[in-house]
């Protein structure tokens, strides 16, 4: 497989990654700072500055592990060794779907999770491409457990 043949997909993925980052910022920053801005604690300008600082710092310092899980932990990328172009096209499609949904949700003022969006898009592409064998179900169970167990643990610690 000649890599030059798929260079356009890499460039397209790079552009879509910026659109996805914009859509994540549009939705997640509103979720994080909406109450503070709405109550007048900070101005919209201050919230944007704070969000720029902390979103960038968080992604640089803590984002590698999450990125690794999204990249390799949700689907079994080794199953795509013979069909790398399918993996590339699927991941670009997952980014497009995630970005579009997050932009629509932001426009409609719906607070959604950007993480759930990209995870769901990645799972969806893998299910379509190679069926259930491509999804690493136990990793999803581990991720899902945190969503259910963490609120329960917090309540226990409070009391």
> Could you report the per-residue pLDDT of 91-118, keeping only the tens digit for each?
999 999 999 999 999 999 888 888 889 9
What is the Cα–Cα distance from 122 to 113, expressed in whole angstroms? Answer: 14
What is the Cα–Cα distance from 48 to 8, expressed in whole angstroms? Answer: 33
Q: Which pLDDT band, with edges at 50, 70 and 90, does 67 fall under? A: confident
Q: Which residues pair with 75 in a beta bridge?
A: 135
Q: At which residue do the structure tokens 């798929």 appear?
A: 6
Q: Check residue 13 and give its pLDDT.
A: 93
What is the Cα–Cα distance from 158 to 60, expressed in whole angstroms? Answer: 31
Every domain of the chain and the residues it spans:
3-158
Helix (H, G, I), strand (E, B) or coil at 97: helix
What is the Cα–Cα distance from 30 to 106, expressed in whole angstroms? Answer: 9
The model scores a pTM over 0.95: no
pLDDT at 157 over 80: no
Q: Check residue 2 and give its pLDDT.
A: 63
What is the Cα–Cα distance from 27 to 42, expressed in whole angstroms? Answer: 18
pLDDT at 55 over 70: yes
């Amino acid at each position: 497989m000649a890599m030059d043949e798929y260079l356009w997909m890499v460039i397209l993925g790079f552009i879509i990654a910026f659109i996805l980052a914009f859509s994540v910022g549009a939705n997640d920053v509103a979720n994080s700072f909406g109450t503070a801005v709405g109550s007048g604690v900070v101005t919209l300008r201050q919230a944007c500055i704070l969000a720029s600082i902390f979103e960038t710092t968080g992604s640089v310092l803590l984002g590698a592990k999450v990125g690794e899980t999204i990249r390799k932990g949700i689907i079994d990328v080794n199953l795509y060794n013979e069909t790398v172009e399918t993996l590339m096209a699927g991941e670009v499609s997952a980014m497009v779907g995630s970005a579009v949904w997050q932009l629509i949700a932001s426009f409609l003022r719906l607070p959604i999770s950007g993480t759930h969006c990209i995870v769901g898009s990645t799972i969806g592409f893998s299910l379509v491409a190679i069926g259930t064998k491509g999804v690493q179900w136990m990793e999803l169970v581990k991720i899902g457990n945190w969503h259910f167990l963490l609120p329960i643990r917090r309540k226990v610690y409070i009391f």
